[in-house]
Structure 1
């Protein structure tokens, strides 16, 4: 088993799922931004360079601590199910995947609200690195190449996916550049007009039309009704520490439950 070395820094740290995202977060800090700016910049880049894991069509959850006020705020950036769906829509066979079960994407609004509430640099600055990688391209990682190869048969069923990820007539290999110009255009519109570009603008209308064409139920009314929730975070006293976590619908509460269970156990004595 291998481990990575402990990283320490005097002024700030950024951890993410991709080096380019980490770099974007560090750049935000160097430009005078704070943790919110860095987190949003990194998350936006992840939505471009890790399409096998996340996208602007996903959700977000965040916990942020304000050192001045000593307040902890939870952000629930997950969307509701479309209003057109009813409990009996799927009967007893709820599908595991597909547009029919897609919920309103909450990531864009969540990132905009997070940086708007706590950031210093603005949403447009936070999205700039992501726009650059979408427009100019980025080198495909081994994990992304393997994911596209593994899911190639399913991706090939989606004409739009083929246009985006397989313009050469095949899925890209490790180190090849992947450009996403349409995604760059969408991010530029969001940077210019804010989250409303997606939830209440032309971009949202195009999204609703596209998802309806593949069996989805999200419409413009669902998008316009979306708001980021700020629920009361869960808190736990654990061995002299005060720990915070996300309440449901996030799964963050599971860690707090596990810690509460083992608090009375001498973990070091266990083999």
Structure 2
């Protein structure tokens, strides 16, 4: 829905109108949120073009442990076992959530989800929507839900790079919402410091780079280290002088507006 900008102060800000942004907004409901999108919702999201299905252990002869085993075997040592476990054990509930939100998954004449057998999966566990149009159907349902949720305010048509995004956000919510800018090089950090962000997320930097980054910021913003951070490396990261350290899924917090410089058009 659309709201007067005077009503937007203090609410979490979500950047991006893809599946991740839409699902985050819907999960936060009924808490009021602001969703920023470069184009009309769903118009440019790569998720719309996704043709593959979603894997979940939904069959009577299947279970998450079997799904995890197949995943780790196919990964051949490249998988993060703990991350894979969290994903496969949450997959069935994610499918149920999407169906509840109106995604029309392909079903059998009896009404059960149609499960496909693909790739390295040892059981039928691939769920499609509209054949090879899974991404398009999921986006259709989520966009409709977001637009019909009264507590989600949407601002579309934001373009012009990170500077324009920050200026648009500031004009909408002033300084009531903290703006976090993500950088992964010292050159990017030098660029964003001129934009006066509240928080700078230093992503995947070495210990030496983190030390240099903290010196460059010199107290002008809160510094947050993320990426390459493990319980083993955390003490060395903390010694660089950063204000915050984020590890994996612990990074998700609100109200923060997080903008990555990798997006040349925002």
TM-score by length of 1: 0.23
- Structure with greater proportional helix content: 1
